[in-house]
């Protein structure tokens, strides 16, 4: 140990004034405060996004779950269960966050107040808040696009005397697909893939197909495949287009390569 100490050349260590040391300490404290604030922002946004996505997946699979449990579709399960999942996921994640951040909370209220008012903190907070803001924006656009897909199916079937909000959502979905690649949304919301929406249109309009759909129905194998499920036909007659779009039986239909090829060529 003595040899190690003697080997050190303390003359090469620069002198640090008291002011410089104070600035370094203040910078370290401010950096930690800014980092803690950014983590709070990111975590709060993550809570909303994860809970929302869990509710969306539950809502997507609720009809199948309802049929497995009750033998029929239940509106209570279709809508109540996603809300319950969202609340439970949000409460659980917020509880975890509260436990973590309470351990990191600064005991010095005066220092915390100074850091809260620091321009550096505000600048970093503004910069990094763009990340959760972009995530929430994308989630909101995805939900609007999903509603627009349902409106697009309704417009395809009913053609005339559509409600204003249906026309607006259908146009909005068209605008979103023009501005952004649809593959971005399909990875998050596979229910609104182009092939699935086209198949839902054909199922919904099978009783009175518009001229654009007639070439598809002229192929007997494809027509029989589309009309094979009486429950989907019943949903179409009742105008329950949203339930058709998220029905898991469409996944099984889309496993047919011939149908996928026809849908890819169809101008619907």
Tell me the pLDDT tens digit for each residue of 122-150: 665 656 666 666 777 787 888 888 888 99
* 5: confidence class by pLDDT, cuts 50, 70, 90: very low
Look at residue 159 and tell me whether its pLDDT is greater than 70.
yes
State pTM to two decimals.
0.64
Look at residue 203 and tell me whether its pLDDT is greater than 50.
yes
Measured between its terminal Cα atoms, the distance across the chain in Å is 82
State the pLDDT at residue 13: 45
- Residues 198-219: b if buried by 16+ CB within 10 A, e if exposed: bbbbbbbbbeebeeebeebbee
Question: Helices 194-204 and 130-158, interaxial angle, to 10°?
Answer: 30
Hey, is 227 helix, strand or coil?
Answer: coil
Residue with tokens 């604030």: 37
Rg (CA), the chain: 28
Question: At a CB cut-off of 8 Å and minimum separation 6, what does 60 contact?
Answer: 191, 246
Mean pLDDT of all residues belonging to the chain? 75
CA dist., res. 67 & res. 10, Å (int): 78
């Amino acid at each position: 140990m003595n040899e190690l100490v003697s080997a050190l050349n303390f003359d090469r260590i620069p002198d640090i004034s008291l002011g410089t040391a104070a600035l370094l300490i203040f910078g370290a404290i401010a950096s930690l405060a800014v980092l803690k604030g950014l983590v709070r922002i990111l975590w709060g946004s993550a809570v909303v996004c994860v809970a929302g996505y869990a509710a969306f997946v539950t809502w997507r699979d609720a009809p199948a779950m309802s049929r497995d449990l009750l033998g029929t579709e239940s509106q209570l399960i279709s809508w109540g269960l996603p809300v319950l999942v969202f609340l439970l996921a949000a409460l659980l994640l917020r509880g975890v966050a509260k436990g973590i951040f309470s351990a990191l909370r600064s005991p010095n209220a005066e220092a915390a107040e100074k850091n809260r008012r620091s321009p550096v903190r505000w600048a970093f907070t503004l910069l990094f808040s763009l990340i959760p803001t972009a995530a929430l924006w994308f989630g909101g656009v995805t939900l609007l696009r999903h509603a627009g897909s349902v409106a697009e199916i309704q417009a395809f079937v009913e053609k005339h005397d559509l409600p204003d909000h249906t026309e607006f959502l259908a146009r909005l979905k068209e605008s979103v697909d023009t501005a952004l690649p649809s593959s971005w949304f399909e990875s998050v919301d596979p229910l609104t893939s182009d092939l699935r929406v086209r198949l839902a249109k054909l199922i919904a309009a099978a009783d009175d197909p518009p001229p654009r759909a007639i070439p598809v129905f002229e192929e007997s194998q494809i027509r029989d495949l589309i009309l094979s499920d009486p429950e989907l036909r019943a949903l179409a007659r009742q105008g329950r287009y949203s339930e058709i779009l998220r029905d898991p039986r469409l996944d099984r239909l889309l496993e047919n390569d011939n149908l996928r090829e026809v849908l890819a060529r169809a101008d619907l």
